[in-house]
Chain A
Amino acid sequence: MFFINLKRILKAGAINFWRNGTVNIATTSIMTVTLLSISILLVLNFLGQKAVENFKDKIDISVYFNPDVSEESIFKVRDELAAMPEVKSFNYLSKDEAWERFKAKHSSNPVISQGIAELDTNPLYATLNIKAKNIDDYPKISDFLSRGKYAEIINKINFEQNKQGIEKLSSIVNAIQKGGLWISLIFAIISVFVIFNAIRLTMYGYRQEVEIMRLVGAGNWYIRAPFIVEGALYGVIGSIISIVILALFVYFGSDIINRFLIGDTITSYFRQNALFIFGVELLLGVAIGVLSSLFAIRKYLKA
């Protein structure tokens, strides 16, 4: 009996859905826009995270030592850094190595080469490049170097410039996430209202039928269920259209978007996560549709 009723309810819901004509198109459209905005938010979140990760990966602290500091003193600093749990790796470049690299790099430039030849001393500093395990560890390492016992032998630490870049990028990503969340929320609320009214309009058209159904002994759930199916169908159709639009957007926009990504591509991200995004859309779409239906039909189901 359960499966017979289920089949009849699904059929009745599908018939309600198709009979609604223009109301149906408007409702499905607003549902699609809602779900699309949520999907775009997910993709933007991914792009933002990737951009921050790429930027973070390039971050390090470069410590320039005074010219008169001996390598022995520098190695003491290096050894202490190596003992710090926050330090992931470091790379030491001596004055001479730095000078050789500089000369090799500009050997094709006659003006610079002539200038180098005229110099009788090495003007470059010995450098220690340090990478932290975590972005949040850089301030601690920077403080250790600039405020500790080694402050006098250090000429310059370039962490502050990078720090500002990271903070700016993070704030942009956060703003996109927050803005996207609000836009999605607004669309979701609009969607609930539109679907609520669409179902209410359907119910108004069916009010006599509902009354007859009740009089022949149909229970509230038997009457209610087809309208819930109708609401859920708005979610299902909306999520299918939305994922198709998103796929087209990724396909045609991948050349432009990939310029901002290193290593990953938007296409590979979409391929790996399309099912997840569709699942989120489907779940949200059906939830919005079903909730709207439940609110809309309550009025017509007094005993």
Chain B
Amino acid sequence: MIIFKEVSKVYYNHGSVLSLDNINLEISRGEFVSVVGQSGAGKSTLLKLIIVEERPTSGEIFFDKLMLSKVSDYYLPNLRRNIGVVFQDFRMMPNKTIYENVAFTLEVLGRTNEEIDRDVLVSLDIMGIKDKSGFYPRQLSGGEQQRAALARAIVHHPAILIADELTGNLDLLNTWEIIKLLTKINEMGTTIILATHNREIVNSLNKRVVTLDKGRIAQDQATNGKYII
């Protein structure tokens, strides 16, 4: 589904910084992949390349048959409509209610109000925050906001869900609740790529683990992977 072929990324900002170095990686449909590594290992850059927030300096990235490294700016919105994204800082739109935040993803797709109403409520129900739909993000706890962000990311049934340190701001209880939800989403067929520092989460998942170190893949444990750094 996603293939990295000899991908390198260099940031040219006050000198050059090599963030990813000759990455070869293949992720299949329906996989749950944890990407681990210390700060600066290149986890976020890897995710940014998949959602084309950044372009590789060299190498090629494929999403199915689409070459991401060459995709035009015009086509980008279409690509991103197939991807769900969640971040550590939730990134909810502060001036919109939880319902409106989740609904926006479907509005972009041109869905009717009836379809939006139905799908948003289902999505919020799955995340256990249906009763918070009329609240603004600031009125919700961190855990609830992250559930809302997850609801927004999956409401349109994306092929792939990218989660960047999504439990970083959550307490232990909420962390495990969110991981349970991620597992549930994965079981429904969505490919998940999770970038995290959390050793316990990775070790308990028993899924594939890709370990990055200084921009290179240090280890790729296909099944029952463990956090080994």
A217 at the interface (CB under 8 A from B): yes
Q: Contact mask B104-144 → A, CB, 8 Å, 1/0? A: 11011110110000000000000000000000000000000
What is the number of residues of chain B that contact chain A, defined by CB distance less than 8 Å? 27
Assess whether A83 is interfacial by the CB under 8 Å rule.
no
CA distance A209 to B110 in the complex (A): 19
In the bound complex, do residue B93 and residue A212 qualify as a contact, i.e. CB atoms below 8 Å apart? yes
In the bound complex, CA of A217 to CA of B52 (Å): 11
Q: Is A213 on the interface with B (CB-CB < 8 A)?
A: yes
The interface residues of chain A lying within 8 Å CB-to-CB of B96 are 209
Looking at the assembled complex, report how far the CB atom of B50 sits from the nearest CB atom of chain A, in whole angstroms. Answer: 12
Closest chain-B Cβ to A57's Cβ sits at a distance in Å of 63
CA gap between A261 and B64 in the complex, in Å: 78
Question: Is the C-beta of A8 less than 8 angstroms from some C-beta in chain B?
Answer: yes
Instruction: Check if A216 sits within 8 Å of B105, measured CB to CB.
Output: yes
Residues of A close to B113: CB separation below 8 A: 4
On whether the beta carbons of B76 and A208 are closer than 8 Å, the reply is no
Q: How far is the CA of A215 from the CA of B50 in the complex (A)?
A: 12
Does A219 contact B110, Cβ atoms closer than 8 Å? no
Of the candidates A1, A213, A220, the one whose C-beta lies within 8 Å of that of B110 is A1
> Is there an interface contact between A216 and B112, defined as CB atoms closer than 8 Å?
no
Query: What is the bound-complex CA distance between A8 and B96, given in angstroms?
Result: 14
Which of the segments B37-45, B77-85, B217-225 contacts the partner chain?
B77-85
Residue of B whose beta carbon sits closest to that of A208: B91
Shortest Cβ distance from A217 into chain B, in angstroms? 4
In the complex the two chains form, is B104's CB within 8 Å of A213's CB? yes
- Interface Cβ pair total, 8 Å cutoff: 57
* B77–chain A nearest beta-carbon distance, Å: 4
A114 adjacent to chain B (CB < 8 Å):
no
- On chain B, the residues within 8 Å of A256 by CB distance are none
CB distance from A95 to the nearest CB of B (A): 89
Q: Which of B51, B93, B108 contacts A209 (CB 8 A)?
A: B93
Whether B73 pairs with A217 at a CB distance below 8 angstroms is no
| A217 engages B110 (CB within 8 Å) | no
Which chain A residue lies CB-closest to B102?
A216
Interface residues of B in 49-94 (CB under 8 A from A): 51-53, 73, 76-81, 83, 85, 91-94
Given contacts A4-B112, A222-B108, contact A216 B152 (CB under 8 A): yes
C-alpha gap A203/B52 in the complex (Å): 22
Q: Are B91 and A212 within 8 A (Cβ)?
A: yes
Contact A214 B80 (CB under 8 A): yes
The chain B residue with its CB closest to the CB of A301 is B73
CB-based contact B110/A215 at 8 Å: no
Bound state CA distance, A215 and B112, in angstroms?
21
In angstroms, Cα B104 to Cα A211, docked, is: 13
With the chains together, A303 CA to B53 CA distance in Å? 8
Within the complex, what minimum Cβ distance (angstroms) separates A239 from chain B?
A: 28
Partner pick for B80 among A19, A208, A209, A216, CB 8 A cutoff = A216
CA distance A217 to B160 in the complex (A): 14
Q: How far is the CA of A6 from the CA of B75 in the complex (A)?
A: 21
Expressed in whole angstroms, the minimum distance between the Cβ of B73 and any Cβ of chain A is 4
A221 → B minimal CB distance (Å): 9
Taking a contact as CB atoms closer than 8 A, the residue among A213, A215, A217, A220 that contacts B109 in the complex is A217
Contact of A217 among B91, B94, B108 (CB under 8 A): B108
Residue of A nearest to B72 (CB): A303
Give CA–CA (A303, B80) in the complex, Å. 11
B interface footprint on A172-190 (CB within 8 Å = 1, 0 otherwise)? 0000000000000000000
Tell me if B95 is interfacial: C-beta within 8 Å of chain A: yes
Tell me which residues across on chain B come within 8 A of A217, comparing CB atoms. Answer: 77-81, 83, 105, 108-109
In the complex formed, the residue of A with least CB distance to B108 is A218
Q: Can you name the residue of chain A whose Cβ is closest to the Cβ of B77?
A: A219
Task: Check if A4 sits within 8 Å of B108, measured CB to CB.
Answer: no
Could you tell me the distance between the alpha carbons of A90 and B76 in the complex, rounded to whole angstroms? 79
CB distance from B79 to the nearest CB of A (A): 8
- Bound complex: CA A8 to CA B106 (Å): 12
- Within 8 Å CB of A19, what residues of B? 95
Whether, in the assembled complex, A5 has its beta carbon less than 8 Å from a beta carbon of chain B, the answer is yes
A68 to B147, CA, bound (A): 112
A303 and B73 in contact (CB under 8 A), knowing A208-B91, A217-B78? Answer: yes
Residues of B within 8 A of A (CB): 51-53, 73, 76-81, 83, 85, 91-96, 104-105, 107-110, 112-113, 152
Beyond A8-B107, A213-B93, 7 extra complex contacts between A and B, CB < 8 Å: A4-B112, A214-B77, A214-B80, A215-B51, A216-B80, A219-B108, A220-B77
**Sample of 17 A–B contacts (CB below 8 Å):** A4-B113, A206-B95, A209-B93, A209-B94, A209-B96, A212-B91, A213-B93, A214-B80, A215-B85, A216-B85, A216-B105, A216-B152, A217-B78, A217-B108, A218-B104, A219-B108, A303-B52
List residues of A whose CB falls within 8 A of some B CB.
1, 4-5, 8, 19, 206, 208-209, 211-220, 222, 303
The 8 A-B pairs of least Cβ separation, nearest first, read A217-B81, A303-B73, A217-B80, A1-B110, A219-B77, A209-B93, A216-B105, A218-B108
